[in-house]
Structure formats: C-alpha cells, structure tokens
Structure 1
Amino acid sequence: MVAVPVVAVVVAAQGTAQSDNAHGSAAATHCAARGVAYNTRPRGTSAFCAGVPPQCIRIVDSSLERRALFLHLLIMLSYRHAFHAGNHADVLKHAVVLQLLRYLGQKDKAYWYIDTHAGAGVYSLQEGYAVKTGEFQTGIARLWERNDLPSLFSDYVDEVAALNPDGQLRFYPGSPYIAWRQMREQDRMRLFELHTTEIDVLRHNFRDAGRRAMLYAGDGFDGILALLPPAPRRALILLDPSYEDKRDYTRTLRCVEESLKRFPTGTYAVWYPQVKRLESQRFPDQLKKLQERNWLHVSLTVSNPPTDGFGLFGSGMFILNPPYTLPKLLKDQMPWLVKALGEDKAAQFKVEYRGD
C-alpha cells in the first residue's frame, strides 16, 4: 500500500488557480477566517499537470454556442460537492466504487483510476459548506458508530475511519482519496476537475503523489477520451457530474458511448441523482441501451420526493462491465442500507443485472 497524501485544505479556499505560493496564501487566509487549520508543511516534489491537455480544448465558433458554453460554466462553477459530502448518495457511490477498485486490485497487473469530476478529494464535516446543509447526518453519520455493518458497508466505513484516526467523524474522503488508498505502486490515477477552487485544493491534497497521480484542470467529459485506452488495458472510469445542468445527462451518455468505442473492456461507473426531473427518470433506461449485456444497476431511494419539487431523494450507480461478484453482494446487503438510511415508507432499493 502506498502512502496516503496529506490532507491539507478541507474547507475549499476561494479564488482562481494561481501560483503555488499565491494559492497557499489565499487558502491560509480563507481557512483562518473560518477557524480551520491549514497545513503549511513544505511541499514535496510533485508532477501535477497544471493545465488543460490539448485534447480538452474545444474551439467555440458561433455566438450561440459561446453563450451556451458560458451558461454551462456558470452552473458548473457554482456547484460545490462539499455541501453534499457524506450524504446518502455518497454512501452508495463510495461503497460501490471501493468494491470495484478492490476487485481490480486482486490481480497483479496494473490498472488506472480515471475520475471525470474529482472534486477537492477531502471534505470537512465540522466547518464550512457541509455544516450548512448537514446532509452527512443522514448519510455517513448514521453508519459511523454502528456495530452491525455488513461487509459492503463495513469496508466503506473503514475507509472513512482511516481519515479520522481519533474516532471522531471530522473529515470525509472523496472518490480520489478512497481510490488512492487502494492503489499499488504499479497503478495510476487520472483526475479531472473544472471548478477553479476545487482543482487548487485537489492539487494541494495530492501534492506529494508524484507522477502516478496526474491532475487536469479541465472538462472530464472531453478529457478522458484522450486517455483511452489506458496502457495496462485495465481501468475504472467514474463519471459523476452534478447534473445541475440537465445537459450533463446527455453529455454523460455520449461520453460513455464514445469511451466504449475506444476501450470496450473498461469498467465504467456512472452515478446519477434521483430528483424530480424527467432526464433523471429516463437515465437508467438510456444507459442500458449503451451495452446490451454485462451491466449492473443499483439504486437507493431514501424518501418520497420533496413536496416542493426540489431536492435529492435517492441516487443510483450504473456499472458497465462490473465484477461478477458485485450483484449478489448488493442484493444481499442493500436491504440493510435501506433500513439504516430510509426516511419514510418510500425507502427502497433496486438491483438489476444482465451478465454476459
């Protein structure tokens, strides 16, 4: 097991990407204002990619397209996952991602982990955005002190506990952090993040990772296509946009479709929200059409839809080329999660699987 990167900024600093020194100063100032400790340990040598790879740069010709792209960026740059860190959707997503990574790690051959929307990597549950919403209280917090966890969720809670060695639930790991803890010397990580502040924090948290973790400040939908197929021909690709822009549903479908042409044997994990939006309701069936066989769909509904029509009441994970062991594991253990996280009588789960 490789060393886990030092967690530095857990409440994201405000501002745009700057030089290392400027970023450190801005982050320290912002964290001090919020009463959050900032790690000022000298940086080690790092090999992060600070720019957008050429393949991610798209020429926008028409004024209409420019306006559409500008609107998309505004929506993207207003979204911060810290508001939702550790909620019920994260519990499902990260428990599944962990099992996918551990399955890949059973063979000695190297694999890649690719994340289209990596976020900051680590989040504070005691300061900043997560405290404002308190969504983790009905997610990871409900599992934190349970002594009856089935293996799927015990493994997941162990990963969260590794970030909280004093036993207090202070920090929550994002997908990149969980993935990094599973990686071996031969494995590689490629992370994309478009939000200017999130990528700064992500770089800091992975500043000592070396060349095995490459970070890209850009659009993951476009960027991952240039990386496929990866050299070892083994990879987990996680696609988990916010879907606050409804075009993310279409972009995700197109990205997976194009990725399968380049790398048909990869494992693709697509997260999606359950919200009162037609695009969300249609999404699982659209994903099923991308590949006739060898897919797995699991969803968790925790409550009835909100009466005001807004808000998350569940989520799902759709996996293409999943491990053959995962469907039974989910069918056996998801009933426990429904009881642990369910809010009303509408709480339920679904597992659908079509093998080879």
Structure 2
Amino acid sequence: MNYRHGFHAGNHADVLKHVVLLALLEALMRKDAPFFVLDTHAGRGRYLLQGGQAGRTAEAATGILRLAGAKKPPAVIARYLQAVAADNPVDALLVYPGSPLLTAQAMRAQDRLAACELQPEEAAALKDLFARDARVAVHARDGYDAVRALLPPRVDGVRIARGLVLVDPPYEAQDEEYPRVARAVREALERWPQATCAIWYPIKQRRSLQPFFRKLEAIPARSLLLAELLVRPDDSPLRLNGSGMAILNPPWKLDEAIAPALPFLQQKLGETGAATRLEWLKRDVG
C-alpha cells in the first residue's frame, strides 16, 4: 500500500471528516464517564501544509484554507477551526492536525485513544508525536485486526462502556476495502455494542456506493446516519468529487449538530453543482 495521507491533508474530505469527528467527541464529553476511541487508520497525526507532500498537491487550498477567517461560521465549524488553530502559530496555518491529534486535543485526562497505523514510517512519526501522552497508545499494526484485539476496551482491567471507532482507510482497492470495512464494523459492534462507529468514504460516483450502504444497513445497529459533501457533481469516476461519513449508533441529536455545517461547507468549498446530504438510512424511534 503506497497511500500517504499527507498528499491530501486539509482537503475538503478532511474538513468534513474532522467536523463530524469533533461533533462526535463533543457528544461523548457531555458525560463525565471516560470514553475510548479506536482510530483504525491513523496516519502520522500532523502534516506540514507549506511543503512536502501537501505542498506538492496543494489540496488544502480548496479545503481548510478556504475556511480561514470565515465570518460567523456555525458552531460546529467554529469548533473545528479552533481545533486546527490550536496546533498552529497565531494567525498562521502551517500544519494540519490529523484525526488522532484532534482526538487527543479534545480528550480529557480519563479518556483513552488507540491509534493504529500499518505503514512503518507513518507509525514511527505517530509514536514520536504522542511519546509523552500516556492517554494515547500507538499500535503499528493493521487497524482491522485491532478491532478484534482491542475491543471491548479496558483500562487497568476496567471495561470502558462508551466510545468511538473511527474507520478511515485509503480505499486504494475499493472492491476489497468496502467489504473489509463492513466486516470490521460489524465485528466492532458485536464486541462493543454501545460504541458509535464512524466511517469515512470517498464519493466519485454516488450510485456505486449503494451495495456498501446495504451492507451497513444490515449490521445490527440502532441507527445509521449519512452526512455527505459533494464539492462538484459526481459525474466523473476518476476524481474525488466528494466524501461522506456513515455513522452507526450516532449520539443523540448529532444530526442537528452537524446540519448547519453542510450548507456552509457547500457554499465555501463547493463548485457549480455542489450538493450535500444528511439522511437517516436507519433510525431508532424508540
């Protein structure tokens, strides 16, 4: 696998993913009890925007950089921008924090993160990043295998009841990746039924995702919510036209929290023909 997230750091897909991630973490922090996060494809945790991989593709220019200085953004967007700014000098945007760093910044002393990364170079950078943070365990291993090894989570022998499984694979071989994602999420919820599972997925042509959605609907979960941002029409299978987050067992009122973000992101990041979607494929009405 040759994928490196650094080439795409801070793009429109990262923006959507991390806005939703922070909304999920905020919901978990409404209670004092500890929570656990498993990040199955964590990457290196922090990415330089002004050089290296991100500088070569400049995808952040049509993502996070378009949001910088936004006036009166929705609360969920403001929280995201504050989290990104916290890892940068005042009035500058030099680095972009990945999902494990955003998670660790949001966590409290009692919360825990297991960040998995298979690529040795990326895993080494991730270990360096969290070398002094006892709340974070970095695992240089396949994130799908970690579902079986690390769930249900325990800290000092005590089981943690609440938490999140974030699945954000590269989708290099999509015919293989989507079934692996569905199997991993099914196993995660079998082992840890109280968990929320959040899956990032790319959108090139939306209709091609229907078999994947059917697999997710078949997983025993109380509810399933989709949040999508298309920055252009999905009429090309050769480019990333948008992305989405599929959330199984989302926390109460998550849809209301992220709803204002989608039209705002469409306006700021979208081209002609941009669109959003916020839809329940399965909803707990009990």
TM-score w.r.t. length of structure 1: 0.75
Contact 1:119 1:193 in 2 (8 A): yes
One-letter amino acid of the structure 2 residue matched with residue 261 of structure 1: E
- The question of 1:344 aligning with 2:272 is answered yes
RMSD: 1.6
| 1:1-356 correspondence to structure 2 within 5 Å | 76=1, 78-210=2-134, 212-230=135-153, 231-246=159-174, 247-276=176-205, 280-291=209-220, 293-305=222-234, 307=236, 309-345=237-273, 347-353=274-280, 354-356=283-285
CA separation in 2, counterparts of 1:144 and 1:277? 29
Structure-2 separation of matches of 1:219 and 1:278? 29
Q: What letter corresponds to residue 302 of structure 1 in structure 2?
A: V
CA distance in 2, matches of 1:203, 1:333: 32
* Residue deviations 1:53-109 (CA, integer Å, cap 9, x gap): xxxxxxxxxxxxxxxxxxxxxxx2x10000000000100000000011111111111
Asked if 1 retains the 8 angstrom alpha-carbon contact of 2:113 and 2:136, the reply is: yes
Query: Does the CA-based 8 Å contact 2:48-2:95 persist in structure 1?
Result: yes
Bigger Cα displacement from structure 2, 222-231 vs 290-299 = 290-299
- Answer with 1 or 2: which has the greater Rg: 1
CA contact (8 A) 1:276 1:310 kept: no
5+ unaligned residues in a row in structure 2: which ranges? 154-158
SS at match of 2:165: strand
How far residue 305 of structure 1 moved from its aligned partner, in angstroms, is: 3.7
Give the C-alpha shift of residue 281 in structure 1.
4.7
Aligned equivalents of 1:251 and 1:279: distance in 2? 16
Percent identity over the alignment is 44
Instruction: Tell me the equivalent position of 1:20.
Output: none
**Residues 11, 62 of structure 2: 8 Å contact kept:** yes
> Take 2:44 and 2:261, find their aligned partners in 1: how far apart are those partners?
30
C-alpha change, 1:352 and 1:154, in structure 2 (3 Å) is same
Residues of 2 paired with 1:120 and 1:217: CA distance? 11
Q: Say if 1:272 and 1:280, in contact at 8 Å, map to a contact too.
A: no
Deviation for aligned residue 1:166: 2.1
Structure 1 runs not aligned, ≥5 long? 1-75
2:142 aligned partner, one-letter code: D
- Normalising to structure 2: TM-score of the pair? 0.92
Contact 1:274–1:281 (CA under 8 A) maintained in structure 2: no
Counterparts of 2:54 and 2:230, CA distance in 1 = 21
Aligned partners of 2:150 and 2:20: how far apart in 1? 23
- Counterpart residue identity of residue 263, structure 2: P
Q: Which has the higher strand share?
A: 2
